[in-house]
Chain A
Amino acid sequence: MKPIIALENVSFSYKINENNSVSVLKDISFSIFPGEYVAIIGHNGSGKSTLSKHLNGLLTPGSGDVWVHGYNTKDDSKKLDIRRGVGMVFQHPDNQIVATIVEEDVAFGLENIGVPRAEMKQRIDEALEVVKMSEFRKRPPHHLSGGQKQRVAIAGVLAMRPDCIVFDESTSMLDTFGRNEVLQVMRQMNEMGMTIITVTHRMSEAAEADRIIVVEDGKIVMDGNPREIFKHKEMLMQLQLDIPAVSQMAEMVHNKIPTFSKELIHEDELINEVNRVSKARS
């Protein structure tokens, strides 16, 4: 299978003055394949946000190459194709919402690329349906809750029909309900075949992905499925990260009751394991 995004020896530094620069990404290579659900984690300042901005050409590498659908992100003539292929949802929905009515906001990107009127309506309907915001289409976005606003922002990206969406800490400003709403939409879109890349600080959220990439000091230090990654508690702690609350609980129960599995990463697994062990013991 051909990758949807491929990074080849990507390095990037920010220039802080004429003589000095800070090196943020250091020779990074990896590929994202169609239909994957990937979480990128790393502590503040590890380079993960800079990395995520390379995935649709918002930033281009100082050296090395990023290929999106086979187009080099340095090729300005392909910029529109690249941005259309890989959408991005940011941390603050307010920064991404531009119109005064929900459906107009979703329409904004479509107008920019000249989608015909009839098709536009269809795309808006579909996008609002996926994020379950159809009934709010005539409302002004600023009266919506954080989770609802973020879902409108996602609909705006979705209407552009990208193959991949990058979520850059898109749940960090949301409460439990808003977060669950957005996570549900992400999962649903992935099941529909969309490639999902999420940058997050919440380990339980990273556990939802099929693959976790751990960034440290501008390099990739771990890359694997969540169950594999979260086995390395010591290393994650050293990287200023953590394991999900569920995994911590499972480990502590396991230490008292050895038949209780310690390798759990989802809440459902914890509940099932309590049921299983409790049945076996009674």
Chain B
Amino acid sequence: MPIIEIENLSHTYMKGTPMEHKALKGTSMVVNEGECIAIIGHTGSGKSTLIQHFNGLIRPDSGKAIIDGVDLSKKRIDIKALRRKVGLVFQNPEDQIFEKLIGDDIAYGPFKLGLPLKEVRERVKWAMDMVGLDFEEMKDRQTFALSGGQKRKVALAGILALKPKILVLDEPTAGLDPRSRNELLDKIKSLNKLENLTVIFVSHNMEEVAYLADRIYVMANGTDVLTGTPEDIFTDKENLQRYEIGTPETVQALYRLKDLGYHVNTSAFTISEATGEIIKVLANGEGGNRG
């Protein structure tokens, strides 16, 4: 069942001024409940403008945006209810943190919802656990002394504590070390698969796109140009080149082997699958062009 329906959506910044800039030019997208969707595309392709429609930060200039039954093109909507359903985590975590202590910062949203203290505490604990921050150890730590990666986790926990139905993330792992990255990806995956949270994320990291996404939307020049499973997208060499889409490091190596004449399947993007492809050609005594 679609939880987000975007149809022919356009948005122009600074309309009617010399600085006028068309960020979205008739883009469409359907997200089903419980899906995990990656949006990829170059800087300026309209990704950030699009995702700001999901919780009503930007309202449609023209076209349709229906988020969990709420039609954003209608004049009067319950914006508070919408923001409760849709949690948006921005790219720069420091923008989203303003309390002095970590625990207080994560508790801010649930308090504003008017929840009783006990439940706020439980939600904060749950959210901190979800992002891998130890509740007892970290709740009374100062937020300003945190590293970039830790701030990212605090910002995400603050949104999760609101228990949104749809989670929207802008570059969730940029700046995280490998383990924090893997842990966060695993948490997002389990929230998506086990708790049926609908997840939409913008990313330029193709490893995490391949790992997390059920489906990818490719954006270029303010519109959606391509959609498909990671397998569809990463095996479509012509479009990869046309839209300058990067691939995971594994796929990059497999394409080079394929160009040399080895019979490898380039849709093998996990490290163990890609390794399997290499073992297969070596075991078959395949020589490639140079053999």
Shortest B119–chain A CB gap in Å is 30
Shortest distance between the CB of B246 and any CB in chain A (Å): 2
B246 with A176: CB separation less than 8 A: yes
> Which B200-255 residues sit within 8 Å CB-CB of chain A?
204, 206-207, 244, 246-250, 252-253
Instruction: Provide the residues of chain A in CB contact with B272, threshold 8 Å.
Output: 252
**What class of interface size applies to chain B in its complex with A?**
35 or more
Contacts A16-B142, A267-B252 given: A201-B178 contact, CB under 8 Å? yes
Q: Are A45 and B279 in contact (CB under 8 A)?
A: no
Is A271 interfacial (CB 8 A cutoff)?
yes
Contact check, A278 vs B287: say whether CB atoms are below 8 A apart. yes
**Stretch in contact with the other chain, from A74-82, A122-130, A157-165, A166-174:** A166-174
A228-261 contact mask (Cβ, 8 Å, vs B): 1 or 0 = 0000000001001110111011001100110010
Chain B nearest CB from A185 CB (Å) reads 17
- Closest approach, in angstroms, between the C-beta of B291 and any C-beta of chain A? 5
Known contacts A44-B180, A145-B44, A240-B179; decide if A248 and B204 are in contact (CB<8 Å): no
CB–CB B43/A145 < 8 A: yes
* Cβ contacts A263-280/B at 8 Å (1 or 0 each): 000010011001101110
CB-contacts of A5-62 with B (<8 A): 14, 16, 22, 42-46, 49
Q: B283 to nearest A CB, angstroms? A: 8
Are B148 and A267 touching (Cβ within 8 A)? no
Q: B287 contacts A173, CB within 8 Å?
A: no
Whether A22 contacts B253 by the Cβ 8 Å rule is no
Quote the shortest CB–CB distance from A161 to chain B (angstroms).
29
- Check: A225 CB closer than 8 A to any chain B CB: no
Most buried by B among A16, A169, A175, A177: A175
| CB neighbours of A252 from chain B (8 A) | 271-272, 275, 279
User: Would you call A134 an interface residue if the criterion is a C-beta within 8 Å of the partner chain's C-beta atoms?
Assistant: no
Q: How far is the CB of A81 from chain B (nearest CB, A)?
A: 30
Contacts of A226 in B (CB 8 A): none
Give residues 258-291 of B contacting A (CB, 8 Å).
260, 262, 271-272, 274-275, 278-279, 281-283, 285-288, 290-291
Task: Return the chain A residue nearest B175 by Cβ.
Answer: A172
A143 in the interface (beta carbon within 8 A):
yes
Encoded as 1 (CB less than 8 Å from any B CB) or 0, chain A from 191 to 207 comes to 00000000001011000
Which residues of chain A come closer than 8 Å to B286, judged between CB atoms? Answer: 278, 282
A275 & B279 in contact (Cβ 8 Å cutoff)? no
Q: In the complex, what's the smallest C-beta–C-beta distance from B133 to chain A, in angstroms?
A: 11
Count of chain A residues with a beta carbon within 8 Å of a chain B beta carbon? 51
Q: Mark B168-207, 1 if CB is under 8 A from A, else 0.
A: 0001001111111100000000000000000000001011
B198 to chain A, nearest CB (A): 24
| B257 in the interface (beta carbon within 8 A) | yes
Contacts known (A16-B145, A44-B148, A169-B175); A175 close to B246, Cβ less than 8 A: yes
A201 touches B262 (CB 8 A): no
Given contacts A172-B175, A201-B175, A249-B275, 15 further A-B contacts (CB under 8 A): A22-B145, A43-B179, A45-B149, A145-B44, A172-B174, A201-B177, A237-B179, A245-B249, A245-B250, A249-B271, A274-B281, A274-B288, A275-B260, A278-B262, A278-B281
Residues of B within 8 A of A (CB): 40, 42-44, 91-92, 142, 144-150, 171, 174-181, 204, 206-207, 244, 246-250, 252-253, 256-257, 260, 262, 271-272, 274-275, 278-279, 281-283, 285-288, 290-291
Show 25 residue pairs from A and B whose CB-CB distance is below 8 angstroms, ordered by the A residue: A44-B150, A44-B176, A44-B180, A49-B148, A145-B42, A146-B43, A173-B91, A174-B204, A175-B40, A175-B43, A175-B204, A175-B246, A178-B204, A241-B177, A242-B178, A252-B271, A252-B275, A257-B279, A274-B281, A274-B282, A275-B260, A278-B281, A278-B287, A282-B286, A282-B291
Question: Top 5 closest A-B pairs, CB basis?
Answer: A176-B246, A44-B149, A240-B179, A175-B204, A242-B178
